[in-house]
């Protein structure tokens, strides 16, 4: 990119630490960016390819792919929507600092999130009562969501979890009440189940949302607005939120074999006003013929319930490794700043193969086509 007034400044964070990682921070249009070269070094990606505005970082277990001017980032083929596009300065691709700290870091190193595994799961069946949600000839969103939730409840209870439902019947519950109900639970996760409707009949696939960090646009918006800077209760759970979304979305995509629309951010009321880690699943489009046929099939909904349980278990295992202090991959003295006050920066370590968690333990995803 030519003509950009990039100010290159090497910032030495935690400089007093011997062996501290020296992140390069690039200012562009008032925002901080970090070169992917630094990301590759920090997370031990031994191969890095930046040709033709496409980038690919890889090691033996992990592959990160993206493109300059794109918000799509793929990790082992799983799709994430970044808060800001990757930029290219002097042929060097760079990722926004907030995406590094609020997405890459918690997703690659969930064991470092300071939180406890959850024993209570709050399941939230979208819509209800007069609010039918999306509709198709095969049924209403409110009925499909309740069915998935009841199936997931049975599976979770059998696995020993405490389960709370925001609704267990066809009734209307205001969004604020759902979030408040979840926030009242301790040591809990919040899983909201929805199905989508699209303006276009060819819109299909599954997307998983978690709360947008403060100061970034929602995934479905391009530009920032003033309201994006409003503090939200749920932002205290930023690292957990994205880790949970990663675990749940991975399970959904791999189990259900449906289109991957990505892990996205939004400020939905049930996520925004919620103090427990939460996600909102859009499990397919009732306005798409193929998705609609799938969702109407009880076997699909059972499979979706199983994926939810699988995702919760993967999340719990990942954060448990951190609380148990048994990650085994923390190299003392290898200090590096994940650039966020919400993340402990005292003893960072690279995402060595041994620290890879369930979603990335198997490279089961198809290679995404190079983004256009």
Interface residues toward Zn ion, by CB under 5 A: 126, 133, 194
Is residue 46 packed enough to be buried (19+ CB in 10 Å), middle (13-18) or exposed (0-12)? exposed
Whichever of 87 and 179 has its CB closer to Zn ion, that residue is: 179
**Least distance from Zn ion to the Cβ atom of residue 218, Å:** 16
Kindly tell me which of 59 and 136 has the beta carbon lying closer to Zn ion: 136
Each residue of 120-158: b (16+ CB within 10 Å) or e? bbbbbbbbbeeeebbebeebbbbebbbbbbebbbebbee
Q: Which is nearer to Zn ion, 92 or 142 (CB)?
A: 142
Query: Could you give the residue ranges of the DSSP H alpha helices within the chain?
Result: 36-42, 97-99, 105-108, 141-158, 175-183, 238-256, 269-272, 289-295, 298-324, 358-361
Q: How does DSSP assign 272-315, residue by residue?
A: HT-SS-EEEEEEEETTSHHHHHHHTSHHHHHHHHHHHHHHHHHH
Cα–Cα distance for residue pair 117/304, rounded to 1 Å: 22
We find the least distance from the C-beta atom of residue 125 to Zn ion, in angstroms, to be 10
Q: Would you say 140 or 335 has its CB closer to Zn ion? A: 140
And the tokens for 300?
């699909």
Burial class (CB in 10 A: 0-12, 13-18, 19+), 254: middle
| CB closer to Zn ion, 194 vs 294 | 194
CA of 186: how far to CAs of 166, 244, 276, 347, 361, in Å?
15, 16, 8, 28, 30
Smallest distance, Zn ion to C-beta of residue 207, A: 12
Taking the least distance from each CB to Zn ion, the nearer of 134 and 253 is 134
Residue whose CB is nearest to Zn ion in the complex, by number = 194
Beta carbons within 8 Å of 30's beta carbon, 6+ residues apart? none
Of 24 and 168, CB closest to Zn ion: 168
The two tokens of residue 58 are: 């890889």
Tokens linked to 320: 């448990």
Contact by Cβ (8 Å): 220, 157: no
Q: What is the nearest approach in angstroms of Zn ion to the Cβ of residue 165?
A: 16
DSSP code of residue 51 = G
* Rounded least distance, CB 110 to Zn ion, Å: 28
- Least separation, in Å, of the C-beta of 282 and Zn ion? 7
CB of 133 to Zn ion, least distance (A): 4
Least distance (Å) from Zn ion to the CB of residue 307?
18
Cβ proximity to Zn ion: between 270 and 276 the closer is 270
Residue with Cβ nearer Zn ion (178 or 194) = 194
Q: Which two tokens stand for residue 105?
A: 């870091």
Spatial separation of the C-alpha atoms in residues 347 and 349, rounded to whole Å: 7
């Amino acid at each position: 990119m030519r003509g950009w007034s990039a100010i290159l400044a090497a910032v030495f964070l935690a400089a007093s630490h011997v062996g501290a990682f020296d992140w390069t921070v690039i200012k562009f249009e008032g925002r901080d960016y970090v070169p992917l070269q630094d990301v590759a070094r920090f997370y031990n990606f031994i191969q890095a390819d930046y040709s033709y505005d496409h980038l690919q970082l890889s090691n033996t277990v992990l592959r990160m792919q993206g493109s300059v001017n794109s918000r799509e980032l793929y990790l082992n083929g799983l799709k994430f929507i970044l808060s800001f596009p990757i930029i290219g300065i002097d042929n060097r691709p760079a990722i926004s600092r907030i995406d590094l700290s609020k997405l890459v870091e918690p997703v690659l190193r969930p064991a470092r999130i300071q939180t406890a595994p959850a024993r209570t799961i709050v399941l939230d069946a979208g819509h209800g009562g007069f609010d039918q949600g999306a509709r198709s000839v095969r049924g209403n969103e409110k009925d499909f969501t309740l069915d998935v939730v009841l199936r997931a409840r049975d599976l979770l209870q059998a696995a020993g979890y405490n389960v709370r439902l925001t609704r267990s019947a066809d009734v209307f519950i205001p969004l604020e009440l759902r979030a408040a109900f979840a926030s009242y639970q301790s040591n809990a996760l919040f899983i909201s189940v929805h199905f989508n409707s699209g303006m276009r009949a060819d819109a299909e696939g599954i997307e998983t949302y978690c709360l947008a960090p403060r100061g970034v646009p929602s995934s479905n918006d391009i530009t920032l607005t003033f309201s994006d800077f409003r503090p939200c209760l749920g932002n205290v759970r930023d690292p957990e939120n994205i880790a949970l979304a990663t675990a749940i979305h991975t399970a959904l995509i791999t189990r259900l074999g449906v289109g991957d629309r990505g892990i996205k951010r939004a400020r939905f009321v049930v996520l925004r006003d919620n103090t427990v880690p939460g996600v909102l699943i859009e499990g397919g489009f009732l306005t798409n013929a193929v998705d609609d046929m799938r969702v109407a099939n009880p076997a699909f909904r059972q499979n979706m319930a199983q994926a939810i349980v699988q995702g919760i278990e993967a999340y719990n295992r990942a954060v448990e490794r951190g609380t148990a202090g048994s990650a085994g991959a923390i190299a003392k003295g290898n200090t590096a700043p994940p650039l966020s006050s919400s993340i402990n920066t005292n003893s960072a370590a690279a995402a060595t193969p041994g620290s890879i968690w369930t979603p990335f333990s198997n490279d089961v995803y198809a290679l995404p086509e190079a983004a256009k």
